[in-house]
Amino acid sequence: MRGVNVVRSFHSRPFLLGPGRCLATPHRSVQRKGLVREEFPVFRFQFGVRASKLRRRLATSAPSLLLLIPAYNEERRIAPVLEAYAEYFIRHYPGKFQLVVILNGCRDDTIGVVRAAEKRFLCISHLDFPAPIGKGGALIEGLKLAPLADLIGYVDADGATPPEAFLDLVKGCVAREADCVIASRWVEGSRINVAQTTDRRTASRLFHAFVEGFFWMGIRDTQCGAKVMVRAAVERVQPQLRLADLAFDVNLLYSMRRAGFTVKEVPTVWTDQSGSKVAFNFRTSLNMLLSLVRLRLLYSPFYVWLRPLRPLEAWVYRKLNAPPPLSKEQAEAVAPAELKRPEG
């Protein structure tokens, strides 16, 4: 994993350091000599954590946390989000914290903004997929990094969910309230600072009605873009995630339920943001409906009989300008992409 802030032991396993202080990196003099010390190496900490306190903090640290942020042409919005999350979790979360931005076919300078943030915060790194793979596809790839942390979560790049609200989800997982804790805008106690437009709220509730009709999960808000899961749950369901479009969250939650993991909705703080990349028109609505139908068929005994129709399915998705569903072989590929950080 070249370019990632990890220290390799003699067994070549990643060792992430610095509870509550992002990742620690070897001192430059150690890197030039090509040495890796198994015990008491010299570390350069971004926030001045003394090595003498390291073992004591490690013994009492919270579970390690990996936060994924999918990004598609977010040059104008993502910088304050990265800064807010990095600074907040450095100060308020005692465990090891990593933030990985997953760039998905960006045509603007999102990568430049992310690299600038990486130079300020050692806990930020990124994955870059030049071809558009959809928000769901980006998260499917990001969830392959689950072995790096005890808890894995994701939020949208627009900052609709503030860091303190996301931390509430993390606390729910730490307290073992559920295997997957999700933010909900539709449960009592939620605070909506800026609401969605009437059209978007109507489309959201109509989509929810279809989700309940197909899957009977009893979840009021599957689409809020803030969720936290335990590593065991992510590793179990990641190969079953096949939808790369906006129905990805339904795929994730239904797979969790079928695998026997618990899901809990908690009230959140949420602010609708301008500049959404999703236009709720006929094409988007049809795409999401077809994805729900396909997901329902995936878990049907009749799905094997529909294989001759898969070329037609792929053609329909291309016509809708939507990321096609992943094949079983693609979904089960376990090799994660390489994390990237600036050199030096």
pLDDT tens by residue, 112-134: 999 999 999 999 999 999 988 88
Q: Are 19 and 68 members of one domain? A: no
Q: 335 versus 153: which is more confidently predicted?
A: 153
Judgement on whether residues 124 and 36 belong to the same structural domain of the protein: no
- What would the mean pLDDT of 257-279 be, rounded to a whole number? 83
Provide the residue type at 152 as one letter.
I
Domain range enclosing 180: 62-288+323-332
Cα–Cα separations (whole angstroms), residue 257 to 16, 67, 92, 260? 31, 22, 31, 5
The reply to whether 303 falls in a domain is no
Tokens standing for residue 16: 């992430």
Whether 32 maps to a domain, the answer reads yes
Number of structural domains (the chain) is 2
More confident: 31 or 210:
210
Residue 213 and residue 100 in one domain: yes
Single residue among 24, 41, 59 that ends a domain in this structure:
59
Give the residues across from 26 on adjacent strands. 43
334 class by beta-carbon count within 10 Å (0-12 exposed, 13-18 middle, 19+ buried):
exposed
Residue 251 inside a domain? The answer is: yes
Residues 86, 39, single domain; the answer is no
Let me know whether 160 and 258 are in one domain.
yes
pLDDT band at 330 (very low <50, low <70, confident <90, very high): low
Q: Is the pLDDT of residue 304 over 70?
A: yes
Instruction: Say if residue 67 is in the same domain as residue 53.
Output: no
Tokens linked to 221: 């808000």
**Rounded Cα gap, residues 121 and 267, in angstroms:** 30
User: Domain for residue 341, yes or no?
Assistant: no
Whether the per-residue pLDDT at 320 is higher than 90: the answer is: no
Percentage of the chain modeled with pLDDT above 70: 71
Q: Considering the entire predicted model, what is its pTM? A: 0.77
Alpha-carbon gap, residue 308 to 302, rounded angstroms? 12
The answer to whether 97 and 123 have CB atoms below 8 angstroms apart is yes
- CA angle (336 as vertex; 99, 58 as ends), nearest 5: 45
d(CA 253, CA 316): 25
Q: Over the chain, what is the mean pLDDT?
A: 79
Within a domain: residue 76? Answer: yes
The residue out of 37, 59, 81 marking a domain boundary is 59
Which range has the worst mean pLDDT, 120-124, 171-175, 313-317, 318-322? 318-322
CATH of the domain at 244: 3.90.550.10
Residue 150 and residue 265 in contact, taking contact as beta carbons nearer than 8 Å:
no
Predicted local confidence at residue 9, as pLDDT = 29
First to last CA, the chain: 15
Q: pLDDT tens across 145-185, in order? A: 999 999 999 999 999 999 999 999 999 999 999 999 999 99
Q: Mind listing the pLDDT tens digit for each residue in 191-219?
A: 988 776 777 777 777 888 899 999 999 99
Higher pLDDT, 327 or 91: 91
